[in-house]
Structure 1
Amino acid sequence: MTHLFCSDHSKEVGEDVIGSATNYQTYVLIECPPPWHSEALNSRWVPNSLKVLVEEVKRTKQPIRFLLIANNESHKIDHTTLLIYHQQEGLGNGYRKQEFKLPNIEQAAPTIRKWLSGSTPKYEVKTSATRDILVCTHGSHDMCCARYGNPFYYHADATISDLGLDEVRIWKSSHFGGHRFAPTAIDLPEGRYYGALDQESFKSILMRSGDINCLNKVYRGWGILPSAMQVLERELILRYGWDWFDYKVAGKIIKQSLDNCTIEAELTFEKPSGCLYTYQARLVKDEIKTKELKGSCNATKESVFAKYGVANLNLIASKVSAYCALPSR
């Protein structure tokens, strides 16, 4: 049977969304009103200076993701918002934000160049916003992001307003991967990815309340961790609940088999109280959950998307103060 929409097919075959978050050291988000070309940087309002910069970054293989963003006011305002999110080193809970209010989009490339060189760019501002949520609505790149991303964005914007979350901003975004999980989102500054979202699960994510098991269906993973390790973090989220989102985390792959069917991974986290824990686990390729399907509506052939299960999860180290209880194993 031919499936027109990749997102519908992914849901039909029961693909698990976990392990699909991508890892970047830096996100550079440039406000640019749509419509966007299928290749976002070829869009009408993107200056050549920005295109040249992005190509230079690609050639030098720097782990930076450039995205266009917009909201309902972007076509009316007389300035351009530039957001740079840079990953924290070591134990951390995501990315550090720097925000710039540019007089126009032509200033984006020189401002980014200064930032990359370690200089202090002009136009930096402080705002009350503590959270930026990106929803892929890039329909010219993939039909699912138009069919599911756009309606979700408008309802999510209303949800944020209804909840009175003035410190949360929501943006339309150009393609960041995972079309087949539309509607899909990135929650910054954490850098966590979500997919197959609905308003109920979105509200739980916003408020960090409700049934934590909703993340089994919508949590794509944390972009600061290797993709294969993201299932391990989800397992620990389900154990610790919404409190997990206040923990600082670092993870690494210790070793993996040549065929990538088994992976030894280690994840360390620190609670706000200062208590430190380290888990090790064996991640095993799940042949049932591993799927072969098209990754996007425009794909001409199917790809294999490997999924892993968590085995032999053990707490191997802890540094516990009088204020902490040992976690259940």
Structure 2
Amino acid sequence: MSSTCSTLSRALDEPVEGTAATARTWLLLEQPGPWGAKALTSSHLDPALGRALEAAAKGTGVRVALIRRPGRHADSRMPATRRVYVAHTVPGNVWLHSATTTDPARLLDLDLPALGRGEAASFGAVLGGEPHDGDPLALVCTNGKRDRCCALLGRPLAAELASSGVEGVWEVTHLGGHRFSPTVLVLPYGYAYGRAQAHAVKEVLHGAREGRIVTEGCRGGSAWERPGQAAELAVRRAVREEAAQALSVVRTEGEAPRWEVTVAHVDGRRWRVAVAQGTSLPPRPESCGSVLGSPARMDVVDVRELTPAVMAG
């Protein structure tokens, strides 16, 4: 265990900010049983359907993932009815809808570009989906075929949360950043967390129920690209803003290795955040079994509130 990518990352104190997967909208399909490294095409889901969903989602802002209930994942028959969720994570239009289906191929009838824009109508029309009125979802990455840390650390976390009565816990196929395992995505707001522990996830979920974002251990909001994730978290911490939909990334200028990110508050305040792409040293594997590398990191260099005159200019 001492040589796993997550153990090395933790020992080297690699920052987690600005490392979340990017997706404005998440589309989740229940798929029990074992998952391969590329689960959409290597599970009990029809691989042709998996390939078609991947192709349909490309460039839409929608990320498709498989979910399953925590526990043993025997190679057993499929349930007649499967749960489907879709969540849009852009502040000002955050929502989570759910449905059930007996035919996963119906997902191909969804208007994925519209879902990516935050328009939920096709989810209701095609699947009979309705707004989710339950607890927030806690998606724990457990795909050990993708990286063994996700199985070694993610599965026990998911099981502990479920056995302690936490509602809305699912295992999910892939959230990126294996070396930050166990990793968790919380919907509907779309904030990801690394090196998660059960007590911390419970606090994150409690906050989400109240419309608050917990920044401790947060990798970023999936609605933004990685410089924006780091910038938005930096502003949250600087002004102690907890409200889930209070901040938005409204502009990102520049390119690697440096960006100027503008973060806006719903009350009209704005900040300009300088973000630099650094290199994590010494070299370490980004995944278990991979060669040594120097992962990119998002370093916030400066956070400056803009005056009305600057904003007008």
Partner of 2:88: 86
Identify if the C-alpha distance between structure 1 residues 284 and 45 changes in structure 2 by more than 3 Å, giving closer, same or farther: closer
Shift of 1:222: 0.9
Q: What is the distance in 1 between the residues matched to 2:32 and 2:252? A: 44
Q: Are 1:154 and 2:154 counterparts?
A: no
Q: TM-score by structure 2 length?
A: 0.81
Q: What is the distance in 2 between the residues matched to 1:252 and 1:33? A: 39
Alpha carbons 2:143, 2:174 under 8 Å: kept: yes
Counterpart of 2:272, as a letter, is: Q
Aligned identity (percent) is: 21
- The secondary structure found in structure 2 opposite 1:128 is coil
Alpha carbons 1:95, 1:188 under 8 Å: kept: no
Q: Are 1:255 and 2:257 counterparts?
A: no
Partner of 1:280: 272
Q: What is the distance in 2 between the residues matched to 1:170 and 1:291? A: 35
Q: What is the distance in 2 between the residues matched to 1:124 and 1:239? A: 39
- Total equivalences in the alignment: 293
Identify if the C-alpha distance between structure 1 residues 44 and 204 changes in structure 2 by more than 3 Å, giving closer, same or farther: closer
- The secondary structure found in structure 1 opposite 2:110 is helix
Q: TM-score by structure 1 length?
A: 0.78
- The secondary structure found in structure 2 opposite 1:245 is coil
Partner of 2:242: 244
Q: Are 1:129 and 2:134 counterparts?
A: yes
Shift of 1:146: 0.7
Partner of 2:110: 114
Shift of 1:220: 0.6
1:63 aligned residue (56, 61, 83): 61
Identify if the C-alpha distance between structure 1 residues 291 and 285 changes in structure 2 by more than 3 Å, giving closer, same or farther: farther
Partner deviation per Cα, 1:151-199 (whole Å, 9 max, x = no partner):
111122244x2xxx6xx40100101211100000111110101001112
Shift of 1:237: 2.2
Partner of 1:221: 220
Q: What is the distance in 2 between the residues matched to 1:286 and 1:303? A: 9
Partner deviation per Cα, 1:98-130 (whole Å, 9 max, x = no partner):
322112xxx222234233386420332454324
Gaps of 5+ in 2: 115-121
Q: Which has the larger radius of gyration?
A: 1
Identify if the C-alpha distance between structure 1 residues 100 and 115 changes in structure 2 by more than 3 Å, giving closer, same or farther: farther
Alpha carbons 1:282, 1:311 under 8 Å: kept: yes
Gaps of 5+ in 1: 319-329
Q: Are 1:267 and 2:254 counterparts?
A: no
Q: What is the distance in 2 between the residues matched to 1:306 and 1:44? A: 32
Partner of 1:5: 4
Shift of 1:64: 2.4
- The secondary structure found in structure 1 opposite 2:168 is strand
Alpha carbons 2:95, 2:131 under 8 Å: kept: no
Shift of 1:49: 4.6
Counterpart of 1:13, as a letter, is: L
Shift of 1:249: 2.5
- The secondary structure found in structure 1 opposite 2:307 is strand
Partner of 2:200: 201
Identify if the C-alpha distance between structure 1 residues 178 and 317 changes in structure 2 by more than 3 Å, giving closer, same or farther: farther
Note the aligned Cα RMSD (angstroms): 3.1
Q: What is the distance in 1 between the residues matched to 2:274 and 2:54? A: 39
Alpha carbons 1:57, 1:64 under 8 Å: kept: no
Identify if the C-alpha distance between structure 1 residues 112 and 276 changes in structure 2 by more than 3 Å, giving closer, same or farther: farther
Q: What is the distance in 2 between the residues matched to 1:5 and 1:305? A: 19
Partner of 1:325: none
